[in-house]
């Protein structure tokens, strides 16, 4: 369980955060829709929350 979380789930979650962050930055630089920027920011915060939960679960599982 700990190896799955630390080697598969966590990198996927971090990649998702990075991709959404970059999409938001590109949207702002292009002068895109403010509604899209807001939605991307909300999605990024959600993905960051999921990444933190996965990190905490992996640390808990490794500590056992």
Do residues 20 and 42 make contact, with C-beta atoms less than 8 angstroms apart?
no
Band (6; pLDDT cuts 50, 70, 90): confident
Q: Is the pLDDT of residue 64 over 80?
A: no
Q: Where are the domains of the chain?
A: 2-63
CA 48/CA 4 separation, integer angstroms: 18
Please write the tens of the pLDDT for every residue from 30-54: 999 999 999 999 999 999 999 999 9
């Amino acid at each position: 369980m700990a190896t799955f979380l630390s080697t598969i789930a966590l990198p996927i979650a971090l990649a998702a955060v990075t991709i959404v962050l970059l999409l938001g930055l590109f949207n702002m630089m292009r002068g895109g829709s403010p509604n899209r920027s807001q939605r991307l920011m909300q999605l990024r915060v959600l993905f960051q929350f999921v990444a933190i939960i996965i990190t905490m679960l992996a640390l808990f599982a490794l500590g056992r």
